[in-house]
Amino acid sequence: ARMADEVLFQFLHNELIQYVYKSAEHGEMENGRCITRLENMGFRVGQGLIERFTKDTARFKDELDVMKFICKDFWTCVFKKQIDNLRTNHQGIYVLQDNKFRLLTQISAGKQYLEHAPKYLAFTCGLVRGGLSNLGVKSIVTAEVSVMPACKFQVMIQKI
Protein backbone atom coordinates (compact mmCIF):
# COMPACT_ATOMS: atom_id res chain seq x y z
CA ALA A 1 0.00 0.00 0.00
CA ARG A 2 0.99 3.57 -0.54
CA MET A 3 2.48 5.43 2.39
CA ALA A 4 1.79 8.92 3.63
CA ASP A 5 2.96 10.78 6.69
CA GLU A 6 0.82 10.50 9.80
CA VAL A 7 1.29 14.20 10.54
CA LEU A 8 -0.87 14.96 7.52
CA PHE A 9 -3.75 12.95 8.90
CA GLN A 10 -3.39 14.57 12.31
CA PHE A 11 -3.46 18.08 10.86
CA LEU A 12 -6.38 17.21 8.60
CA HIS A 13 -8.24 15.75 11.55
CA ASN A 14 -7.67 18.99 13.46
CA GLU A 15 -9.06 20.97 10.53
CA LEU A 16 -12.16 18.76 10.40
CA ILE A 17 -12.84 19.56 14.03
CA GLN A 18 -12.20 23.28 13.53
CA TYR A 19 -14.46 23.33 10.51
CA VAL A 20 -17.35 21.51 12.15
CA TYR A 21 -17.21 23.69 15.26
CA LYS A 22 -16.83 26.89 13.28
CA SER A 23 -19.83 26.18 11.08
CA ALA A 24 -21.71 25.46 14.30
CA GLU A 25 -21.08 29.02 15.51
CA HIS A 26 -23.03 30.45 12.59
CA GLY A 27 -25.75 27.84 12.47
CA GLU A 28 -26.29 27.64 16.23
CA MET A 29 -25.55 23.96 16.25
CA GLU A 30 -25.02 22.59 19.71
CA ASN A 31 -22.04 20.50 20.78
CA GLY A 32 -23.89 17.21 20.45
CA ARG A 33 -24.60 17.77 16.79
CA CYS A 34 -20.97 18.66 16.09
CA ILE A 35 -19.94 15.40 17.69
CA THR A 36 -22.51 13.55 15.57
CA ARG A 37 -21.19 15.18 12.41
CA LEU A 38 -17.61 14.20 13.15
CA GLU A 39 -18.77 10.73 14.07
CA ASN A 40 -20.62 10.37 10.77
CA MET A 41 -17.54 11.38 8.79
CA GLY A 42 -15.55 8.80 10.73
CA PHE A 43 -18.22 6.23 9.96
CA ARG A 44 -17.83 6.68 6.19
CA VAL A 45 -14.06 6.44 6.47
CA GLY A 46 -14.28 3.35 8.69
CA GLN A 47 -16.51 1.65 6.14
CA GLY A 48 -14.03 2.32 3.36
CA LEU A 49 -10.98 1.36 5.38
CA ILE A 50 -12.31 -1.96 6.56
CA GLU A 51 -13.01 -2.97 2.98
CA ARG A 52 -9.40 -2.32 2.12
CA PHE A 53 -7.97 -3.94 5.23
CA THR A 54 -10.00 -7.14 5.10
CA LYS A 55 -9.75 -7.90 1.42
CA ASP A 56 -7.17 -10.62 2.05
CA THR A 57 -8.27 -11.89 5.45
CA ALA A 58 -10.16 -15.07 6.22
CA ARG A 59 -13.79 -14.94 7.34
CA PHE A 60 -14.30 -14.10 10.98
CA LYS A 61 -15.46 -16.86 13.27
CA ASP A 62 -17.61 -14.74 15.55
CA GLU A 63 -18.13 -11.32 17.09
CA LEU A 64 -15.13 -11.66 19.40
CA ASP A 65 -12.96 -12.52 16.43
CA VAL A 66 -14.14 -9.32 14.73
CA MET A 67 -13.36 -7.27 17.83
CA LYS A 68 -9.88 -8.75 18.02
CA PHE A 69 -9.30 -7.77 14.42
CA ILE A 70 -10.33 -4.19 15.25
CA CYS A 71 -8.01 -4.11 18.28
CA LYS A 72 -5.00 -5.53 16.46
CA ASP A 73 -4.93 -5.09 12.71
CA PHE A 74 -7.30 -2.18 12.28
CA TRP A 75 -5.83 -0.17 15.14
CA THR A 76 -2.29 -0.86 13.96
CA CYS A 77 -3.06 0.29 10.43
CA VAL A 78 -4.71 3.47 11.63
CA PHE A 79 -2.85 4.37 14.81
CA LYS A 80 0.32 2.31 14.50
CA LYS A 81 -0.21 0.47 17.77
CA GLN A 82 -2.58 -2.12 19.13
CA ILE A 83 -5.32 -1.53 21.64
CA ASP A 84 -3.75 -2.13 25.04
CA ASN A 85 -6.65 -3.85 26.67
CA LEU A 86 -9.89 -5.43 25.45
CA ARG A 87 -12.60 -6.36 27.90
CA THR A 88 -16.09 -7.69 27.41
CA ASN A 89 -19.03 -8.70 29.54
CA HIS A 90 -19.89 -11.38 26.95
CA GLN A 91 -23.26 -9.69 26.48
CA GLY A 92 -22.39 -7.41 23.65
CA ILE A 93 -20.38 -4.75 25.45
CA TYR A 94 -16.70 -4.34 24.70
CA VAL A 95 -14.28 -1.86 26.21
CA LEU A 96 -11.19 -1.03 24.17
CA GLN A 97 -8.52 0.77 26.10
CA ASP A 98 -5.72 2.69 24.43
CA ASN A 99 -3.19 3.98 26.97
CA LYS A 100 -1.57 6.34 24.50
CA PHE A 101 -4.16 7.37 21.97
CA ARG A 102 -2.48 8.93 18.97
CA LEU A 103 -4.89 11.83 18.51
CA LEU A 104 -4.52 12.93 22.12
CA THR A 105 -0.75 12.63 22.60
CA GLN A 106 -0.08 16.07 21.10
CA ILE A 107 -2.69 17.73 23.27
CA SER A 108 -1.92 16.86 26.82
CA ALA A 109 -0.43 14.36 29.22
CA GLY A 110 -2.80 14.78 32.11
CA LYS A 111 -5.99 16.65 32.82
CA GLN A 112 -5.19 19.89 31.02
CA TYR A 113 -7.66 20.54 28.15
CA LEU A 114 -9.71 17.56 29.26
CA GLU A 115 -12.91 19.37 28.25
CA HIS A 116 -11.73 19.35 24.63
CA ALA A 117 -11.05 15.62 24.51
CA PRO A 118 -14.50 14.54 23.22
CA LYS A 119 -14.03 16.44 19.94
CA TYR A 120 -10.83 14.53 19.30
CA LEU A 121 -12.51 11.17 19.85
CA ALA A 122 -15.74 11.49 17.88
CA PHE A 123 -14.23 10.79 14.47
CA THR A 124 -12.54 7.67 15.79
CA CYS A 125 -15.77 6.42 17.40
CA GLY A 126 -17.25 6.67 13.93
CA LEU A 127 -14.27 4.88 12.40
CA VAL A 128 -14.87 1.90 14.67
CA ARG A 129 -18.64 1.92 14.16
CA GLY A 130 -18.23 2.17 10.37
CA GLY A 131 -15.66 -0.60 10.32
CA LEU A 132 -17.85 -2.88 12.40
CA SER A 133 -20.89 -2.03 10.32
CA ASN A 134 -19.23 -3.25 7.14
CA LEU A 135 -18.39 -6.47 8.93
CA GLY A 136 -22.06 -6.95 9.69
CA VAL A 137 -21.91 -5.79 13.29
CA LYS A 138 -24.26 -2.96 14.20
CA SER A 139 -23.09 -0.96 17.20
CA ILE A 140 -23.01 2.23 19.22
CA VAL A 141 -19.51 3.48 20.00
CA THR A 142 -18.69 6.03 22.68
CA ALA A 143 -15.45 7.17 24.25
CA GLU A 144 -14.31 8.43 27.61
CA VAL A 145 -11.13 9.96 28.94
CA SER A 146 -10.09 10.68 32.47
CA VAL A 147 -6.40 11.37 31.96
CA MET A 148 -4.98 12.10 28.51
CA PRO A 149 -3.62 10.54 26.37
CA ALA A 150 -5.31 7.36 27.65
CA CYS A 151 -8.87 6.68 26.60
CA LYS A 152 -11.50 3.97 26.50
CA PHE A 153 -13.85 3.22 23.65
CA GLN A 154 -17.03 1.43 24.56
CA VAL A 155 -18.70 -0.64 21.87
CA MET A 156 -22.29 -1.69 22.47
CA ILE A 157 -23.40 -4.27 19.95
CA GLN A 158 -26.96 -3.76 18.74
CA LYS A 159 -28.74 -7.06 18.38
CA ILE A 160 -30.93 -7.12 15.32
Q: In the complex, which residues of this chain contact other proteins (CB under 8 A)?
A: 1-9, 11-13, 15-16, 18-19, 23, 37, 41-42, 44-45, 48-49, 52, 77-78, 80, 100, 105-106, 109, 123, 149
Supply the minimum distance, in Å, between the C-beta of residue 76 and other proteins: 10
Enumerate residues 6+ apart whose C-beta is below 8 A from 129: 39, 42, 43, 46, 139, 140, 141, 155
Q: Of 118 and 130, which has the nearer Cβ to other proteins?
A: 130
Q: Which is nearer to other proteins, 55 or 61 (CB)?
A: 55
Task: Tell me how far the alpha carbon of residue 82 is from its chain's centroid.
Answer: 13
- Between 73 and 88, whose beta carbon lies closer to other proteins? 73
Q: Give backbone dihedrals phi and psi of 98, rounded to 5 degrees, phi first.
A: -115, 115
CB of 18 to other proteins, least distance (A): 7
Nearer to other proteins, 13 or 129 (CB): 13
CB of 12 to other proteins, least distance (A): 6
Residue type, 152: K
| Rounded Cα distance, 45 and 43, in Å | 5
Asked if 46 contacts 127 with a C-beta cutoff of 8 angstroms, the reply is: yes
Smallest distance, other proteins to C-beta of residue 52, A: 5
Cα–Cα distance measured from residue 122 to residue 124, given in angstroms and rounded to the nearest whole number:
5
Specify the residue, 82 or 88, whose C-beta has the smaller distance to other proteins.
82
Closest CB 19 distance from other proteins, rounded Å: 7
Contact 141, 129 (CB under 8 A): yes
